[in-house]
Amino acid sequence: MLTRSGLAVLTLASFLLVAALATGNLVVLTLALLPLSFLILGAAATQPRRIHAELKLPERAVRLGENLLVTVEYEVRGGRGIVELHQPVPGPFLLVSGSNVHVLSKRPGVLRGSYIFTVRATRRGEHIFPPLDWEHMGALGLTGSRKGNAGLGAAMHVRPALRVVRRVPRTSSKGPLMGAEAETSPAGIAGTEFREIRQYQHGDAPKTINWKATARADRRRRHVPTTARHNGPPYPPPDHLIPLVNEYEREGQQHSWIYLDCGPHMRLGTTAENAFEAGVGAAIAVAQYLLARGHRVGFTLYNRKEPLHLYPDVGKRQLFVIQSALAHAEPTDSTGGLAAAVLESKRFLVGTRHRIVVISRAEADHPGLPDGLRLLRRIAGGRRRRAGILLIGIDPYGLIPEAHAGTISARLLVRARQRARHQTIARTGATHLEWDPATTRIEEILHTRRMVQ
């Protein structure tokens, strides 16, 4: 229907028409044709016949915190006026550069084009980009706008961020050292799981040389096409040729287990940044560190309706399995406790020396954590030795947007109140590492070894 401006022009035309009819005045009747024809020309044949759009996202999976380029290709057939294209972006994505709103002026004919903008993923999981919204407005806005959707949308899977941890501090355990960097298994038995192709080093067995990969690398180095016949002088001697060898994952002698808390107390924070998201990042960072050093790493998600246990394994495949499990994990309302999860994973812990990493909120008011730590110490440590247990206590209060000064004071009071609980945890024999994800990265806190006394 008509907009205000269209109504204004119609009103003028109507007044002149009525005046012409009232006075039988052909001159005024002719003048009435001016606004009337202007209105009809401005309102007629302006709607596009068809609007088509296609959303293009990166084909590879994106990790948390990464930027991704979004391309929207459009085609508008027929009509004229102004077309607004709006590609909705899911809430967990932040617009980094460009704009997801594009306005173009449409003339008669076909109009094709594309526009690009960059967004950043702030939350892991599966996200759906809805179909494109479009709105068409007539050339001079004499008629109302028309809206619709185009395209099918797309799904984007955001994986947890992958962080590289270089050191894990030693614990206060009097038993075997906690420091995993001192217990890397370089001389362990080579397994059957392929790890990577690397350059030959002194000591590698000749049977591990990958001759095909070596030949391909040599051809690339000298820019020789594979199908060309060589009729010229002989090739130069391969004085810089270094063979490439296959490397397989080594069966680590060290065993580690990571427990990640999924309880309701891990929701503290915002939708994008909370204790659980920080815990996911920490779990992946620690798993990556341990697996890179040949450890056999197992994983448990506890405080769920059914705790999730991942069988201990080595290498990048295990890291991928852990990441896949965490990609869809969310905090739950269950508070089954750490002890129940430890009992379910007992068969993996008994008999071998494990270093344990528990990621939770140390100051949360639930009794399960100290009990679980004591049980872990008893099961994983055994009679004669004490297990190395590292508790990464997440302090999520820094993730809450500080609305006023009272919020800061409340945080200090909460911390002061939790000192007694920290002492309880310390008596379990676990090494407690307090971590504020708002101010410190997990790599830094593990490197500087700040522990709660």
The contact set with other proteins (CB under 8 A) reads: 1-12, 14-19, 21-31, 33-35, 37-38, 41-42, 80, 82, 84, 99, 101, 103-105, 107, 137, 139-142, 144
Smaller CB separation from other proteins, 111 or 349:
111
Decide if 61 contacts 157 (C-beta within 8 A): yes
DSSP string computed for 349-407: HTTS-EEEEEEE-TTSS-THHHHHHHHHHHHHHTTTS--EEEEEEE-GGGGS---SHHH
DSSP string computed for 319-345: HHHHHHHHHT----S----HHHHHHHT
Smaller CB separation from other proteins, 141 or 169:
141
Smaller CB separation from other proteins, 2 or 426:
2
| Nearest distance from C-beta of residue 80 to other proteins, angstroms | 8
Smaller CB separation from other proteins, 12 or 190:
12
Q: How far apart are CA 420 and CA 271, in angstroms?
A: 30
Question: What is the bridge-based pairing of β-strands 388-394 and 431-435?
Answer: parallel
Smaller CB separation from other proteins, 12 or 154:
12
Q: How far apart are CA 370 and CA 185, in angstroms?
A: 32
Tokens 């009794």: give the residue: 367
| Nearest distance from C-beta of residue 84 to other proteins, angstroms | 7
Smaller CB separation from other proteins, 147 or 198:
147
Give how far the C-alpha of residue 86 lies from the chain's centroid of Cα atoms, to the nearest Å: 24
| Nearest distance from C-beta of residue 120 to other proteins, angstroms | 18
Smaller CB separation from other proteins, 113 or 238:
113
| Nearest distance from C-beta of residue 446 to other proteins, angstroms | 41
Smaller CB separation from other proteins, 11 or 324:
11
103 membership: H or E segment, kind and range: strand 101-106
Q: How far apart are CA 7 and CA 442, in angstroms?
A: 63
Residues 22, 26, 31, 35, Cα dihedral to 10°: 60
Bin 294: left if φ > 0, else alpha if -120 < ψ < 50, else beta: left
Tokens 């407005």: give the residue: 137
| Nearest distance from C-beta of residue 23 to other proteins, angstroms | 4
| Nearest distance from C-beta of residue 172 to other proteins, angstroms | 55
SS3 154: strand
Task: Name 68's bridge partners.
Answer: 119
Smaller CB separation from other proteins, 11 or 407:
11
Copy the structure tokens of residue 370.
């100290």
Positive or negative, the CA dihedral 163, 100, 48, 136 is: positive
